[in-house]
Amino acid sequence: MSDTAHPALGNHLIRYTSETFPEIIVRAKGSWVWDKQGKAILDFTSGQMCSTLGHNHPAIVEALKSSADTAIHLFSGMIPDTVVDLSERMATILPAPLSKSMFVNTGGEANEAAIKIAKFATGGYETVALGGSWHGAGGGGAAVSMASDRKNHGPTMPGVYAIPEPNAYRCPVEHCRDACDLTCMKVGFRMLDMQWAGAPAAVIAEPILSAGGVIVPPEGYFKALRQECEARGLMLIFDEAQTAFGRVGEWFATDGLGVTPDIMAVSKTLGGGVPLAATITSDAIEETAHQRGFSHYTSHVSDPLPAAVGVAVLQTIESENLIERAKEMGGYLRERMLDLQQKYEVIGDVRGQGLLIGVELVEDREARVPHHKLGARTTKRCLELGLSMNIRRRPERGSVWRIAPPLTVTRDEIDTATAILDQALGESLDAMAREC
């Protein structure tokens, strides 16, 4: 990956990221993509974490073809039958009292709408996010995203506060080591109480902080967070962009937490590679927001084509038993990463749930200094060997591979990826030793 122009990319594309691959991709299927030279690349990022069923799953292709024959796009005030069908199917799997959905394009947009609903329903505007969070690139989503560089973007949405994330491996308040006792939350809300204007709207949180380094909060964290919210009149929003629809071995991550949010945003894993997201809430909150004038009227809200794909995704997850498969394959993937940890001292931590795994690289296991150089070098070598890996590198949050293959991944593919990662790590370490 490079942040400079590459001849194959031409001269007419705006560089929207520093992580542009030099390869031009022409085809994708299952867990694999192919470049113009015919090279096969094992995709352990599921595209941009979206291709839940693998690339170009037959059920998604059929849904696209069928919708192309019926309706692709409609006036935003018209409700197609596929949207009604999808909303009804969603209601059967959502935890009570969540029951009403609005379908939009991206997770960032779903989070924008979720924050709006909270503001309408509470009458407040102040919003709280966790450090290490990522909720989108739009005005509201970017304002509550703390995992990425916030410089040079100008003023953000007013009334936003951050509390430290529960990262027991790299404690942000330098209190815990390997076992979070929620001091980070206590400190965060104490600071919040010092600063805010008393106009509460919501706390927004990912059940697993993905872009922040695949941080899995400790047991009881979200019950305590719910109590802090209730004490201050804050609604709780879960951003399940990367954890819903089987990724972590449950329909939703909230199913295993003992806590149901007031509002939920889902995306990525719902569309199976097609832009589709949803903002979800209860009957009572929807009614209050509606009575107070809530509006989120966009060109592609309730579009029929992505909704048809969403129905196909839910059907396929059920018919192919992919939630159980995610548990099984996720357990196997974790085992293979733990095997590598035994072999390489530079692997400091392996964490995650289901098929969302984080592998953190360190220069020294005791000091836990992030090994950014090794992360960048090994990721590049993996791609050369035919494995696409995503590395999250932040000075204060470590160097972490975020591994998220599709729910359809096989043991053989996990073994292939592990072998490539093993080779890339070994070669990179040897090369760096020779350079010293």
**Residue range 237-243: average pLDDT?**
97
Assess whether 411 and 331 both reside in one domain: yes
Does position 356 have pLDDT exceeding 50, yes or no? yes
Catalytic, out of 206, 228, 303, 360:
206
> Is 126 domain-assigned?
yes
Q: Biggest alpha carbon distance in the chain?
A: 68
Q: Which is the catalytic residue, given 247, 268, 381, 397? A: 268
Helix axes 221-232, 183-195, angle to 10 degrees: 20
Sorting pLDDT into bands at 50, 70 and 90, what band is 396? low
For residue 308, give the nearest of 73, 85, 77, 50 by alpha carbon: 85
Q: Is 415 a catalytic residue?
A: no
**Which pLDDT score, from 0 to 100, does residue 395 have?**
60
Indicate the length of the chain as a whole number.
436
- Residue of 109, 112, 239, 262 marked catalytic: 239
* 308 or 149, higher pLDDT: 308
DSSP secondary structure string for all residues of 395-434: TTTEEEEEE---TT--HHHHHHHHHHHHHHHHHHHHHHHH
Q: Does 245 lie in the same domain as 172? A: yes
Query: Is 341 in the active site?
Result: no
Residue 416 has pLDDT above 80, yes or no: yes
Buried/exposed code over 279-294 (b: 16+ C-beta within 10 A; e: otherwise): bbbbeebbebbeeeeb
- Catalytic: 268? yes
Least confident segment among 28-37, 123-132, 144-153, 363-372: 144-153
DSSP letters for 38-81: --EEEETTHHHHT-TT-BT-HHHHHHHHHHHHH-S---TT---H
Categorize the per-residue pLDDT at 10 as very low, low, confident or very high, splitting at 50, 70 and 90.
low
The answer to whether residues 254 and 114 belong to one domain is: yes
Q: Are residues 264 and 297 in the same domain?
A: yes
3-state SS assignment for residue 307: helix
Query: Percent of the chain beyond pLDDT 90?
Result: 88
DSSP codes joined into one string, 258-297: T---SEEEE-GGGTTTS--EEEEEEHHHHHHHHHTT----
Evaluate the CA torsion angle 148, 154, 160, 164 in order and state its sign. Answer: positive
Compute the Cα dihedral for 308, 311, 315, 318 and give only its sign: positive
* CA–CA separation, 248 and 354 (whole Å): 4
Mean pLDDT of 98-117: 97
With respect to residue 216, please indicate whether it lies within any of the assigned structural domains: yes
Q: In which order are the strands placed within the sheet that holds 32-35?
A: 25-29, 32-35, 40-43, 387-388
Percent helix / strand / coil, the chain, rounded to 5? 40, 20, 40
pLDDT band of residue 22 (cuts 50, 70, 90) is confident
Q: How many domains does the chain have?
A: 2
Instruction: Considering the candidates 126, 165, 242, 262, report the single residue annotated as catalytic.
Output: 242
How high is the mean pLDDT of the chain?
94
Average pLDDT over residues 55-59: 97
Residue 397 has pLDDT above 80, yes or no: no
Residue 214 lies in a domain: yes
Query: In angstroms, rounded to a whole number, what is the distance separating the alpha carbons of residues 436 and 431?
Result: 9
Is residue 2 in some structural domain? no
Write the CATH number for 44: 3.90.1150.10
**Given a cut of 60, is residue 215 above it in pLDDT?**
yes
User: 167 and 265, same structural domain?
Assistant: yes
Q: Which of 292, 319, 346 is the last residue of a domain?
A: 319
User: Alpha-carbon distance 337 to 184, whole Å?
Assistant: 28
How confident is the model over 135-167, as pLDDT tens digits? 998 899 999 999 877 888 888 899 999 999 999
Do 314 and 426 have their domain in common? no
- The answer as to whether 346 is a domain residue is yes
Structure tokens at 2: 């490079």
Residue-level pLDDT at 9? 65
> CA–CA separation, 28 vs 43, rounded Å?
9
Whether 250 is catalytic is: no
Q: E strand or H helix at 226, and its extent?
A: helix 221-232
Pairing of strands 160-163, 126-130: parallel
Q: What is the mean pLDDT of residues 261-278?
A: 97
Same-domain pairing of 301 and 327: no
**Stretch (H or E) spanning 350:** strand 347-353
pLDDT average, residue stretch 403-414: 98
Q: Which pLDDT value is given to residue 260?
A: 98
Assigned token pair, 416: 């292939």
> Domain containing 253: what range?
59-319
Measured between alpha carbons, how far is 69 from 407 in angstroms, rounded to an integer?
A: 29
Of 265, 299, 319, at which residue does a domain stop? 319
Residue at token pair 């690289």: 361
Tens digit of each residue's pLDDT (9 = 90 or more) over 157-211: 999 999 999 999 999 999 999 999 999 999 999 999 999 999 999 999 999 999 9
Active site residue 206: yes
- pLDDT tens digit string along 29-48? 999 999 999 999 999 999 99
8: DSSP letter: G
The DSSP code for 255 is G
Question: For residue 18, is pLDDT > 80?
Answer: no
Residue-level pLDDT at 151: 80
Statement: residue 355 has pLDDT above 90? yes
Same domain assignment for residues 304 and 370: no
> H helices within 240-393, ranges in order?
283-291, 304-319, 322-343, 372-385
Pick the closest to residue 104 from 263, 261, 267, 243 (CA basis): 267
Write down the catalytic residue from 43, 116, 134, 228. 134
Is the pLDDT reported for residue 3 higher than 50?
no
And the tokens for 47?
A: 């595209």
Where a domain ends, among 319, 346, 371?
A: 319
The dihedral through the CA atoms of 11, 16, 17, 19 has a sign that is negative
* pLDDT score, position 7: 58
Active site residue 402: yes
